[in-house]
Structure 1
């Protein structure tokens, strides 16, 4: 194993890892709010909202993230006649994808709360939305924290797919180094180690938050 090559490549790969974290934070952050509203819409009393939210979740979860990236980066510009920046395309595709999965997490977390909690809020004179905001969601958040952590880890790894549009996150930077050095084993092992470090750190943080 060429340790000297690994040492030389490490700063470049670490920069790529930071970009990967940036994409993941933005994607899951935006996806959190998309999923929150979509999750609530899937169980609300307005039929049109339920249908729209269900179609969104089913379509996104039923198609690969790679195809969604291609649609946004290659197909969408043909419709709007404007080239999309790779970073914007990467974050948009990942956020839309994450939002669909987060909506299912919120839906399950909300429905896991005892129906009596909702009835208690309504009996106090709160509206449906006030009951959801003040009573149901605070309790549901405790239940959904572990799956949200898993979604963050999943998106961190799936963000490697944005390398197909030439965006230089961790995986793409590894590919560029290999194209120059042909040192596939050393570089891919280093890339894998960086992904492992990031996912373990996130898992530890989520575990800490659960205890808090």
Structure 2
């Protein structure tokens, strides 16, 4: 083997700054999307429990669309198709604020919220129905019951699955490179094109992803075992 490994060439100078920029953008995109997806997931679960069939239909359609259409298609739809129907004032406002990042953020948040809502909904099944009745008897509204009583309990049962959703979202940020978001995968490809150090740059990128996903996976396994033990008791 005649290949000479040289990691320093892709970690120093301008290429090192590119790599760090990619890491920061990936984490920023992940954190923003996680909070948006989690908030929207709670809203979806709450709306889905309201006994009004047109609303229930819309919630189910939303969830099934985002769970069954490939994320890449959804991302490209937001980036290329949706701006065509927006008023020009909105399109111009988004274009002045890093439109690639904004549309990637929207697509990833909507996509992840559908999975989060389903896992929270599964966690609700572990809550005894009597708690809903007790909350209603105490004067809580349906929305208040969900927010203050039911969801704080349900998320513990859904936690392992929610951590899995978080892992999927973190890995999913890589797809934003398709529309030019300068996250880790995009910057890795740019460095590789300039240096031809394929092994080095993709090894480093893989290590960054693994340094986040493996601890999250261990946390999810721990949470699953801990709450399974509590449930059995």
TM-score when normalising by structure 2: 0.82
Q: Could you tell me which residue of structure 1 aligns to residue 198 of structure 2?
A: 184
d(CA) in 2 for partners of 1:66 and 1:134? 36
Q: Could you tell me which residue of structure 2 aligns to residue 70 of structure 1?
A: 76
Q: Could you tell me which residue of structure 1 aligns to residue 52 of structure 2?
A: 46
Report the 3-state secondary structure (helix = DSSP H, G, I; strand = E; otherwise coil) of the residue aligned with 1:112. coil
The answer to whether the 8 A contact 2:21-2:182 is kept is: no
The answer to whether the 8 A contact 1:42-1:107 is kept is: no
Q: Could you tell me which residue of structure 1 aligns to residue 107 of structure 2?
A: 93
The answer to whether the 8 A contact 1:69-1:89 is kept is: yes
Q: Which moved more, 1:30-39 or 1:138-147?
A: 138-147
> Is 1:167 equivalent to 2:149 in the alignment?
no
d(CA) in 2 for partners of 1:197 and 1:150? 15
* Structure 2 counterpart of 1:130, from 141, 144, 156: 144
**Deviations 1:111-147, CA, capped at 9 Å, x for gaps:** 2211122223234443333332332112112112222
- The 1:207/1:22 distance shift into structure 2, 3 A limit, reads farther
By how many angstroms is 1:98 displaced?
1.1
d(CA) in 1 for partners of 2:107 and 2:141? 35
The answer to whether the 8 A contact 1:39-1:105 is kept is: no
Contiguous gaps of at least 5 residues in structure 2: 227-233
d(CA) in 1 for partners of 2:148 and 2:106? 30
Q: State the Cα RMSD in Å.
A: 2.3
d(CA) in 2 for partners of 1:105 and 1:36? 10
Report the 3-state secondary structure (helix = DSSP H, G, I; strand = E; otherwise coil) of the residue aligned with 1:24. helix
Q: Which moved more, 1:178-187 or 1:140-149?
A: 140-149
d(CA) in 2 for partners of 1:163 and 1:149? 23
By how many angstroms is 1:49 displaced?
1.7
d(CA) in 2 for partners of 1:144 and 1:66? 26
By how many angstroms is 1:90 displaced?
1.0
Aligned residues: 212
TM-score when normalising by structure 1: 0.89
Q: Which moved more, 1:147-156 or 1:122-131?
A: 122-131
The answer to whether the 8 A contact 2:160-2:223 is kept is: no
